[in-house]
Chains A and B, each alone.
Chain A
C-alpha cells in the first residue's frame, strides 16, 4: 500500500487568465524541493499546467488536487463547466473547440488533453455535458522521465 506523503488542493477560477499557471508553478516548486527525477517533474508539471489552462479557458471553476506518495505523483482535476461532448475527439491531437481569444493566447490548438495523456502512466477522464469534467493523471515514481 502506497504511503501518502503530501496532498494539496488548489482552487482554479475560470477565465482568470492572469493567475493561470500559478498552480502548476507552485507544484513545480514543491517537486523541485524533493528528491525526484527532473524528467518526472517535467511530466507532472506539464500535466498540471495543461489541466489548469483547460479549467481557466473552459470551466467556471475547478480544483486541482496534487497527491504525492512514495510510489506516484497523482493529479486529480475536477471542474464545473460545459463538459465534453465527445471525449474521444477531445483526445485527438488537433481537435479543438477553442475560441479565437484562446488561440491568440497561444492555447486551444487541440494539444492539451493529448499532452496530459501522453505524460501520464495512468490517465482517466469522465465528463458530463453541462456539469463538468474530471481528469485523473498518475505518474509512477519508478517510470522513466
Chain B
C-alpha cells in the first residue's frame, strides 16, 4: 500500500516527507517502546507510535523504518522533525488512537512487522 493511501485512510497530516508518499508499505510495527521497535521491526516497516521525542525518529532510522505515523493527535517536537527530514523519513500525524489506527490498516491488508 502506498504511504499516500495510508495518509488518506488514517486522515493524517503530513509533517515532513510530502514528496515521498509514493513509497510502498507492506508491514507495520506499533509500539511506544523503542527497544521493541529495534528488536522486532522488519526493515521497511511503517512505525506507529505515541512517542514523539527525537529518539523515536532516531530509533526509526536505526531500525530502517520507512515512515512514521504519530497517533492520538500528538505532534513531534522540532528536533524530531529536523532529524526526520535529515534521515529522509516521512512523518505523519493522525488523531486516531493506536488501536484504531492499527485495526484500520490491518483491515486494509497490511501485516504486522514484528
Interface of B is mostly: helix
User: Interface size for chain A: under 10, 10 to 19, 20 to 34, or 35 or more residues?
Assistant: 20 to 34
Whether A49 contacts B62 by the Cβ 8 Å rule is: yes
Q: A105-B53, A105-B55, A106-B34 are in contact. Are A25 and B39 (CB under 8 A)?
A: no
Which residues of chain A are within 8 angstroms of B49 by Cβ–Cβ distance? 106
User: Bound complex: CA of A106 vs CA of B32, how far in Å?
Assistant: 6
Q: Does B58 contact A (CB under 8 A)?
A: yes
Q: Is the interface of A mostly helix, strand, loop or mixed?
A: helix
Give the size of the chain B interface in residues (CB under 8 angstroms).
Answer: 21
Q: Are B62 and A28 in contact (CB-based, < 8 A)?
A: yes
Q: Is A107 interfacial (CB 8 A cutoff)? A: yes
Quick check: is A67 within 8 A (CB to CB) of the other chain? Answer: no
Name the interface residues of B73-114: CB closer than 8 Å to any CB of A: 79
CB A139 to nearest CB in B, in angstroms, measures 15
Interface set of A (CB-CB < 8 Å, partner B): 17-18, 20-21, 24-25, 28, 38, 42, 45-46, 49-50, 53, 105-107, 109, 111-112, 114-115, 118
